[in-house]
């Protein structure tokens, strides 16, 4: 990693209480506090990427190289992702979880619950909820 390629970098070594080993971060951010704050969001972001790729839509298998076509695919996948998350929320609210997953505890994300609910509804030839509303308070 060079300044020419990445600009100034910051190397952090964080050793949180209760952990056996430190966490090393390299960033181009100027503030260590800001870098740690952004890093804390990493797990939510990585979950989204894995849902888009290996645990969900398998976008990585499209092999699209044209930026316009890839952008369209990603946009469609993001809209589908929101709908699948909505199905996961319905699964929790309406008690579908005990039908499509074990009853003692749930270790699935809303996305995985939504996918399982969709598969169940398709297999049982049941109505699939396709309309939902997003309310945004101002």
Q: And the tokens for 117? A: 């609910």
Between 18-32, 48-62, 67-81, the lowest mean confidence (pLDDT) is in 48-62
Examine the pLDDT at 69 and tell me if it is beyond 90.
Answer: yes
The pLDDT value recorded for residue 103 is: 64
Q: Which residues of 12-49 are buried (b: 16+ CB within 10 A; e: fewer)?
A: eeeeeeeeeeeeebebebeeeeebeeeeeeeeeeeeee
Helix (H) or strand (E) holding 12: strand 10-14
Q: Which secondary-structure segment (H or E) carries 84? A: helix 67-93
| pLDDT on residue 118 | 94
pLDDT recorded at residue 15: 82
**Residues near 22 by Cβ (< 8 Å), separated by ≥ 6?**
13, 14, 15
Per-residue pLDDT averaged across 67-75, rounded?
91
Indicate the pTM of the whole model: 0.63
- Tokens read off for 72: 């369209």
pLDDT band at 51; cut points 50, 70, 90 = confident
């Amino acid at each position: 990693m060079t300044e020419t390629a990445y600009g100034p970098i910051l190397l952090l070594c964080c050793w949180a209480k209760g952990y056996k080993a430190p966490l090393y971060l390299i960033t181009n951010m100027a503030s260590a506090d800001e870098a740690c704050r952004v890093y804390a969001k990493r797990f939510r972001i990585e979950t989204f990427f894995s849902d888009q790729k290996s645990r969900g839509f398998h976008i990585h298998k499209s092999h699209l190289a044209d930026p316009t076509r890839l952008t369209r695919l990603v946009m469609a996948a993001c809209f589908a992702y929101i709908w699948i998350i909505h199905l996961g929320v319905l699964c929790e609210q309406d008690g579908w979880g005990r039908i499509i997953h074990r009853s003692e505890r749930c270790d699935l994300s809303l996305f995985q619950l939504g996918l399982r609910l969709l598969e169940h509804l398709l297999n049982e030839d049941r109505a699939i909820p396709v309309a939902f509303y997003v309310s945004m308070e101002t």
